[in-house]
Amino acid sequence: MRTAAAMAARDHPKGILMSGRTSLTIVLAAGEGTRMRSSTPKVLHPIAGQSLLAHVLSAAPKGSGASLAVVVGPDHEKVDEEARRCRPDAETFVQRDRKGTAHAVLAARKALARGSDDLIIAFGDTPLIAAATFERLRGALQQGAALAVLGFRAADPTGYGRLLVENGRLIAIREQADASPAEHEITLCNAGVMAFDGRKALSILDKIGNANSKGEYYLTDAVTIVRDLGLEAVVIETSEDEVRGINTKAQLAEAESVMQGRLRKAALDAGVTLIAPETIFLAADTTFGKDVTIEPFVVIGPGVSIGDGAVIHSFSHIVQASIGKKASVGPYARLRPGTSLGEGTRIGNFVETKAATLEAGVKINHLSYVGDAHVGANSNLGAGTITCNYDGFSKHKTEIGTGAFIGTNSSLVAPVRIGNGAYIGSGSVITRDVPDDAMAVERSQQTNREGGAMRYRELKTRAKAPKGND
Ligand code: UD1
Ligand code: CA
């Protein structure tokens, strides 16, 4: 099985080109992201179920000879943690004051000083970047450029650094605030991603000053420095969609939409049937077997795998769950974290599961809550079966053996064990273990009053009859 994201062209091209070259990737993630108007650091906002930072880190070169540094802001422990969670090999550096992108890169001086063949700079807020793009930039270095800058044609270039190209050569990058009216017209823009000849990078970066309208150390000034040294800087172009930077919630939503488009296409290309792709939401790490069908209006969060031949019916919501081969889920099912469905299981409408392992052939067809539970193969849980897993203080486990039958509207008060082949009468509140092959019925005696319904109707009809002669 492959993840949707891997299928969405984030695969690392096999290193024909890069074989033998070492790399250091520095991801800048120290910005405050004030325009997000959120207490969460910008790079931790999610798209397709993963943080912006996680997307960038998974596209960055990895494996032997590839090292990774992430520059975080002060008080950004959460960013630090996320970086290490995604890439345990990542080294993190704190940029104390935010004095610009070149200043941020130099926060990782210790890593820079160790040297590498290629130095790659990426931004933590540019999550749609593909692994193959990093390799294209590195390809330019291998062909002799000292600096390769990723460029794109912006529909609206406002705010971006403009790439000044003369006779096919990149001569400078002009930031918006410093650009002339003629330069404002240029639509070829700096995506922010760059690759330097790693052996020259530190001396180039150390030459960058802050003589500009913002008084910041601009990474973009590296271009003129490279030219002044008589070295070559080149532009590698890509699509605007790939380098969308996220500064606002609106841009976050646009990036989500681009990412969902990619994930749906990748799923379709891999043979998944999506009946109305535009209504289905996937996560970057969703994995699919063969012949999976997903009906309209399904939401899949992180950590979901779907086995061969499984069908996810409409309006289901699934997070951190593994769905076995030929399982049928929904419509209107909610699979919460820790759900594991065996082969051929059937989860019907308005069924909620959490931390529940359902072995092969289990059926829970209607209106149930099954949490903190293990259900053995081929057991059948009738409509309205509820595992009472929480006593207000802690959670308890329900264990159901194989081939058990739980009658409708039963409450299983955990901790409790229902034996193999046991049978629970409808409407029971089960508080004690039920042995294998036993029948448990817990409900009060039924009374039938002969003629009682008729008497009741007469009583009511008399009371309702018009009084007097008005
Ligand atoms: C930057 C580029 C611009 C390019 C644009 C693309 C510079 C000077 N400008 O502008 O040419 O078109 O990106 O999106 O490089 N950061 C730090 N520490 C700092 C400053 C920034 O870590 O002191 C990080 C931010 O978290 C962010 C990235 O660097 O991830 C870019 O910074 P931002 O302020 O967004 O740069 P732009 O003004 O967008
Ligand atoms: Ca930006």
| CB 50 near ligand 1, within 6 Å | no
Residue 13 has what pLDDT? 47
**CA 192 to ligand 1 center in whole angstroms:** 7
**CA 263 to ligand 2 center in whole angstroms:** 24
133's tokens:
């793009």
**CA 53 to ligand 2 center in whole angstroms:** 14
Residues whose CB is less than 8 angstroms from the CB of residue 448 and which lie 6 or more positions away in sequence, other chains included = none
Give the number of the atom of ligand 1 that is nearest the alpha carbon of residue 28: 22
Q: Are 288 and 6 in contact (CB under 8 A)?
A: no
Residue 415 CB-half CA count within 13 A: 4
Ligand at minimal distance from the CA of 246 is: 2
| CB 100 near ligand 1, within 6 Å | yes
Q: Is the pTM of this model over 0.85?
A: yes
Distance CA 99, CA 214 (A): 9
| CB 297 near ligand 1, within 6 Å | no
Residue 291 CB-half CA count within 13 A: 8
Q: Which of 105, 123, 147, 158 most suits a substitution to test ligand 1, by most atoms within 8 Å of the C-beta?
A: 123
Query: Minimal CA–CA distance to 85: which of 105, 57, 107?
Result: 57
| CB 190 near ligand 1, within 6 Å | yes
The string over 225-236, giving b where at least 16 C-beta atoms fall within 10 Å of a residue's C-beta and e elsewhere, is bbbeeeebbbbb
| CB 419 near ligand 1, within 6 Å | no
**CA 51 to ligand 2 center in whole angstroms:** 16
| CB 28 near ligand 1, within 6 Å | yes
**CA 245 to ligand 2 center in whole angstroms:** 6
| CB 31 near ligand 1, within 6 Å | yes
Q: Are 104 and 218 in contact (CB under 8 A)?
A: no
Name the DSSP letter for residue 28.
Answer: E
Residue nearest to atom 36 of ligand 1 (CA): 101
Give the number of the atom of ligand 1 that is nearest the alpha carbon of residue 99: 23
Ligand at minimal distance from the CA of 177 is: 1
- Dihedral in degrees, nearest 10, Cα atoms 26, 29, 31, 35: 130
Query: Minimal CA–CA distance to 335: which of 378, 326, 160, 324?
Result: 324
The residues that are catalytic are: 366
Residue 32 has what pLDDT? 81
Give the number of the atom of ligand 1 that is nearest the alpha carbon of residue 73: 22
Local structure of 330: helix, strand or coil: coil
| CB 173 near ligand 1, within 6 Å | yes
Residue nearest to atom 21 of ligand 1 (CA): 101
Residue 16 has what pLDDT? 42
- 409 by Cβ neighbours in 10 Å (0-12 / 13-18 / 19+) ranks as middle
| CB 101 near ligand 1, within 6 Å | yes
- 308 by Cβ neighbours in 10 Å (0-12 / 13-18 / 19+) ranks as middle
**CA 431 to ligand 2 center in whole angstroms:** 58
> pLDDT tens per residue, the chain (470 residues)?
556 555 554 444 444 455 589 999 999 999 888 899 999 999 999 999 999 999 999 999 999 999 999 999 998 899 999 999 999 999 999 999 999 999 999 999 999 999 999 999 999 999 999 999 999 999 999 999 999 999 999 999 999 999 999 988 899 999 999 999 999 999 999 999 999 999 999 999 999 999 998 999 999 999 999 999 999 999 999 999 999 989 999 999 999 999 999 999 999 999 999 999 999 999 999 999 999 999 999 999 999 999 999 999 999 999 999 999 999 999 999 999 999 999 999 999 999 999 999 999 999 999 999 999 999 999 999 999 999 999 999 999 999 999 999 999 999 999 999 999 999 999 999 999 999 999 999 999 999 999 999 999 999 999 988 766 55
Distance CA 29, CA 73 (A): 7
